[in-house]
Structure 1
Amino acid sequence: MLDENGLPAENKSGLVLLAVALWVFTSVLGFLEILTVRAIILRIYGHFAITYGFYSRELQGAQVLGMGTLVVMGILCLGVAIGCGEYHLKHFGQPQSWRLFSRTIAVEVAILVLALFI
């Protein structure tokens, strides 16, 4: 195949496959982390409920907090997945696109590591 200048076009199918695989991986991992973030928030809430002794409101407050976390994290993850997909579509093959992949994966791994310590 030739490009618009008449030169042989580069075969970027490997890079396209890698970019799509990384985007799917980060999107799926982001949606799986919804439950991880919910568990972190409920652990923190449970700690304060036991430490400061507001037991009567503990169950109802935890349910509301858990549902609110699911809604907020679901919207956030959906927005990040769509936004990153659009960004990678416009900036494919550029260093900014690969930097965004690395930053996204770093944040997701940091959340998973944080869950181990809380």
Structure 2
Amino acid sequence: MKMNHLTFDDLMAYIARTLDDAQRESIDAHLSHCPACRASLAEQELRQRQISNELRAVLNAADLPQQMSFAAIAPRLQTRKPRANFWPRLGTSAPLVFSLLGLILTVLGFWQMYAVKAVVAPAHKIGVYPTLACFFFMLASVEQFDQSLVVRPRFRITAIVAGLLWLGSAFIGLLNLIVIRDLAIMAAVAMGWGVKGATPLAMIAVYLGAIFYIGLIIGGGEYHYRNFGQPGSWKLFSITIVGQLFILILPYLIL
């Protein structure tokens, strides 16, 4: 993937310390793995020091009143660090909250399934927790998609949200396999095959679903890794979660 280097304005704003926390964190992350930009930053810092030294020498050589000396006016030239705005920071943290809530609801869904022994017996309906989890996961992915189009993503929050979404979709996928098994059993019973006919059909459905599930988790994980923080990654998360949500609510639509 082609790397976009920092612009001259980015470097000057970084040196002048006029960036907010999110922008500075993003540039720090870029500088950590871009030797070319680190070299450009060092060159600009050296140039700024040279200009400052030349200006100081000129002002010291000039016959100016004491109140006009460089030492007197230098403190006034220092830029104040901008105050962090609360609401934009809250907005960038919303996907993290949504994805974390989704993962908690997914775990509660697994606990509920364990309580009713749905792993070894047909449950017919998964419950409300995984469904709500999908809604929160979708909110997180859509919010991250919107932010990736207009602002630079915050590396740490983006990485955590992506990890939570991937982990949550993996857990929801396991619940999908249980639903697929139950749907196969329901279909066999509806066709009058009985228990003997339902068991092989359920096994085939689960095997096919498991193959697709493994491919989706591994392939999707690789895609998200290669396109970290990009709109396409969040779009794939959204599509995956919508499909998983449809499987979860399918028994409600049939029964």
Amino acid at match of 2:162: A
Offset of residue 11 of structure 1: 4.5
Counterpart Cα distance in 1 of 2:252 and 2:179: 10
Which gives a bigger RCO, structure 1 or 2 (Cα 8 Å, sep 6+)?
1
User: Over aligned residue pairs, what C-alpha RMSD do you find?
Assistant: 1.6
Which residue of structure 2 lines up, in the alignment, with residue 106 of structure 1? 242
Residues 23-82 of structure 1, C-alpha deviations (whole Å, 9 max, x = no match): 000011001210101111211221121xxxxxxx52221111111122111121111110
How high is the sequence identity, in percent, across the aligned residues? 31
1:52 corresponding residue in structure 2: none
Gaps of 5+ in 2: 1-27, 42-152
Q: 2:159 matched to 1:16?
A: yes
1:1-118 correspondence to structure 2 within 5 Å: 1=28, 3=31, 4=34, 5-6=37-38, 11-49=154-192, 57-118=193-254
Aligned residue for 2:229, secondary structure, equals coil
Q: Which has the larger radius of gyration?
A: 2
Q: TM-score, normalised to structure 2's length?
A: 0.40
Q: Is the 8 A contact 2:185 2:199 kept in 1?
A: no
Distance 1:38 1:11 in 2: 40
Distance of 2:245 and 2:210 partners within structure 1: 18
CA displacement at 1:87 relative to structure 2: 0.5
Structure 1 length normalisation: TM-score?
A: 0.84
Number of corresponding residues = 109
Gaps of 5+ in 1: 50-56
